Structure 1
């Protein structure tokens, strides 16, 4: 789970384009890190991921997802 600033009161997804950019970052992470996405939920001010990391690389994966999406 990751939330927007100010205790989750600030939106991180402002339009459909933001959601699509995040989904592209997830797809890239599957290809780059070999993660398995079992489920996800995207809301305006946060997201939840249910992922499996067969290569013990959760930290690198999340840094990658958040780094791509923030840019």
Structure 2
């Protein structure tokens, strides 16, 4: 059974996290780690997201 769709609000703030299986690292190489900010910026531009704070 799939998860029900989340309700989204236009002016809401969302807290998003990522974690690897068994709390393992989600970056295999340093190049992956360095690529994340660029990918995040691209996605924010595409979906018109505003990031208020983030950390790696």
TM interval, shorter chain, is 0.5 to 0.7
What 5-or-longer segments of structure 1 have no aligned partner? 43-71
Structure in which a larger fraction of residues adopt helix: 1
- Per the normalisation by structure 1, the TM-score is 0.49
Counterpart position of 1:39: 53
Q: CA deviation at 1:23?
A: 1.0
Larger Rg: 2
Pairs aligned (count): 40
1:11 to 15, 20, 25: 25
Structure in which a larger fraction of residues adopt strand: 1
Query: Please, what is the CA RMSD of the aligned residues?
Result: 1.3
- Per the normalisation by structure 2, the TM-score is 0.59
